[in-house]
A and B are shown apart, each in its own frame.
Chain A
Amino acid sequence: MLFNDSFLRTLESLVLLARRLRTGEQAGERPSPRTGASVEFRDYRSYVEGDDLRSVDWNVYARHGQLHVKQFSAERDLHAWVAVDVSESMGFFGKRDQALSLAAAVGYVALARGDTLSWEAFGEKRLAGGEGLRGKGAGIGFLRALEAAPAGGRTDLRAAAAPPGASRGLAVVVSDFCDRGAREALHAMRPRGGNVVALHVVADEELKPALEGPLRITDSETGREVDVDADEATLARYREALVARWDALEAFCAREGMPYRRVLARAPLLDAVAMLLKPGGALARR
């Protein structure tokens, strides 16, 4: 089990944030622009034949002599889609564990809030996933399925395909974004979900690799190799290139209006979740 009870209770007190909310088709707890059967008054309209007489506001009729019907807001659910990168590159420095934990936390928050949850674990293809999960009762199964998800392969964000129902909801992508097409893939997710949150899992060991001397460095995903003499100057240049790449991704997300959070792989999960609570994040307290 990924979480203990106290952490689950903490998660149950949170709610997913979506800037441009497009609710789902099923009833839920989120306000919808549609009229519905909630208790929240929305507007009046003239009575037309066939309207339920129980919805006629008789006080208005007594005052104005015309029949008006009260309309109430409809409450719909939010379809959250959580995509977690379990590719080979995530297997370093605890990044995959942190990513799975974050995905589990976000997914559980969605289920606890009554939203519909779809999820998938992907590498260069979809490796595991689930759709249309609702209610806390599905939470345990979700967590176990996530925990048992296979891992490996190259990172290809284009393989992270949201189900049709999730295209109008909230997409949360947890990855190290070791993919040259990451930005295009994130951009492509917007028309579908409208709200995309990028959780970038990074490790200190990536920034400060304990390497020296002549090295033959192999890419874990592609097997490509490069010979490097890891002296101080080379390491500094490496750090510079790495940070520039991360910053470029963050700048892209800012331009696209996507919340972006950089999460340390070794950071405690509670701290990582707390980062998502900050303004511009993906979670909020109820």
Chain B
Amino acid sequence: MTFERPLFLWAFAALAPVVAAFLVRRRRVRVVVPDLEAWLAAAEAKRARSGWRTIRDAGSLAMNLAACAALALAGAGPRAAGPQGTDWALVFDVSASMGARDGRWEKAVEGADAFVRALPARDRFRVFLAGEFPRALGGWRGGGEDLPELPAPVERNGDVEGALVLAGKDPAVRPGALKTVAWTDRASAADFAPQISMESRNVAIEALDVARAWGSPEVSVVLQIANYGDHLQSPWITASFGKDPVDIPFVGIDPGKSATVRASLQSAEGGVLEVRLRRNPLGDRIVDARKAAFAAVAPLRRAHVLVVAPEAKSPFFSSALAALGPALEEGSGIVEPGKEKGADVFIFDRCAPSAFPCVTIAPPVARPPVDNPAVTAWAADLPLLRGLDLSRLRVARARPLPRDRDAVVLIDSSAGPLAVATSDRVTLAFALEDSNLPLLAAFPLFVRNCLEELSRQRPLPPALTGDWVTPFEGAYEVWEAGATSPHAGPWRATQPGVVVFTRGGVSRPLAVNFFDPAESALVDPPPGRELPAPKSEPPPPWIYLAAAAALLLALDWAFAPRR
């Protein structure tokens, strides 16, 4: 038990005067009378009730002492140490996109401010900034206190995942008490995956990257392990992906250092990567730490691709699709405009796009054409252009695309962007026959990259708390944040955070947020979907103590002898 005002405990010293007053009150006054006979007769009858008097006097003293003690305790403001409060990690995405003029940042701050004000006193919160470098802002504050002053969202990136990890590593977090709330406008919930849960502070998996090499079923794993204990060697690091063991190469990590451990997974499907750091059999200094990391591995799946073109046959796409081979599902092919439907990816060749995701080639636009735009740059590090060499790309005529804020420029030229990409669309500003792209080796790779990226299992849209979420048809498993085992769906979003749904090795992460799922259209929560109300706090104990003191005094007054 703790006290809000421990100085009031000095009021217990008032018990001594109470006892003294009681004793003085009980002291008998000496009276001399002419004759004692009548008094003896009266006292004889009274003696029969002396037992009750003793009980009454003792009870009166006990009630007075209890009332004084209760008042002293009430003044001290006791707080039960039993059920501890929740430690809320409030993660703010401070990337520049949050500074959009639609007021999303202001709404986020306003919502967070209302949230912390409604927290019960036993809860704590700390603000973590998800910027280029995740960091904490200020220390832990009690529920009901104000938010610290937040910086303006001006950073290039918002590492929400890093901020979540940082919050989980905060040594001041009470065990089992951490819950996270993120205010972010990031469209892709997959940014939150993989999630890393840590159970020990001696060693920590600082980072986990699971990636699949291009065109290969092999999945590479990169582990960043920090060692805060004794010397750690890889023989004590074991990992498994599903039921398959993962071969961990030898590595030694000195105390206070971290090391990168690379491994590869033989399974092409997603699953749970479990890394276990066992006790050092010699030193016994390393804590037996079981590290489970959930890896949301992108599945390699076949795609249903439809090419929408004016001609029934497109020589370029026929050869390109043929090169993809088994990656295409049955039914893939070329259709006329207006007959496209039911595909994973559409390719609109010189047609206006009518379905998504899609690759749009030379869409009919009113912009004037530009002859011989010189290719100046291409984003070779983006997955869409991975492995492509566009140095020999030549374009005879193009209608350069506008530089849209939400679009990534894939190929830039002296006249403007020649290729841009958004989350569900890749657009080329030139027709294939107006360039030498179909003749380059990069063309089939480009098509495959586009299909691969666009047909990737799309992340679930962020959910509002209170929503029923259906990531898969039929049965599936739900991994909630921090859980060591899944439970069966259906699932309803009750807390903000990241949840991962799995079925048959396919994982779909989901970010549960307070805001509208539309990434760029932050709006007020719909009616009935308010912030989760913190549990109403029961009346503080001092109220009960004061009431008990009043009751005791009333009882004492009722049963005390009248004089």
Which positions in A face B, CB cutoff 8 Å?
88-93, 95, 176, 178, 180, 206, 209, 211-222, 224, 226-229, 231-235, 237-239, 241-242, 245
Contact = CB atoms under 8 A, between A and B. Distances in A.
19 contacts: A89-B34, A178-B35, A209-B33, A214-B28, A215-B29, A216-B30, A217-B36, A218-B31, A218-B32, A219-B35, A221-B35, A224-B36, A227-B28, A231-B561, A237-B41, A238-B38, A241-B38, A241-B42, A245-B37
B29 A213 contact: yes
Given A216-B30, A227-B28, A229-B53, A241 B46 contact: no
A211 B38 CA distance: 14
Contacts of A234: 42-43, 45-46
A176 B35 contact: yes
B51 to A, nearest CB: 13
Nearest to A233: B46
B563 A215 contact: no
Contacts of A206: 34
Contacts of B32: 217-220
A231 to B, nearest CB: 6
Interface of B: 26-43, 45-46, 53, 561-563
Nearest to B36: A219
A245 B42 CA distance: 13
Contacts of B31: 211, 215-218
Contacts of B39: 217, 226, 228, 238
Contacts of A221: 34-35
The 6 nearest A-B residue pairs measured at CB: A241-B41, A89-B34, A219-B36, A242-B38, A238-B42, A178-B35
User: Which of A88, A176, A213: most chain B CB closer than 10 A?
Assistant: A213
Q: By DSSP majority rule, is chain B's interface helix, strand, loop, or mixed?
A: mixed
A247 B36 CA distance: 17
Contact of A238 (B28, B30, B34, B41): B41
A212 B40 CA distance: 16
B563 A231 contact: yes
A40 to B, nearest CB: 49
Q: By DSSP majority rule, is chain A's interface helix, strand, loop, or mixed?
A: mixed
Contacts of B28: 214-216, 227
A93 B35 CA distance: 13
A237 B45 contact: yes
B34 A95 contact: yes
Contacts of A219: 32-33, 35-36
B30 to A, nearest CB: 5
A228 B38 contact: no
Nearest to B27: A214
User: Which of A90, A214, A220: most chain B CB closer than 10 A?
Assistant: A214
B35 A89 contact: yes
Nearest to A88: B34
Nearest to B29: A215
A227 B36 contact: no
A218 B39 CA distance: 10
B34 A176 contact: yes
A226 B40 CA distance: 7
Contacts of A218: 30-33, 36
Contacts of B30: 215-216, 218
Contact of B38 (A91, A222, A245): A245
A213 B46 contact: no
Nearest to A177: B35
A81 B550 CA distance: 69
Contacts of B46: 228-229, 233-234, 237
A97 B562 CA distance: 37
A156 B34 CA distance: 14
B42 A228 contact: yes
B563 A212 contact: yes
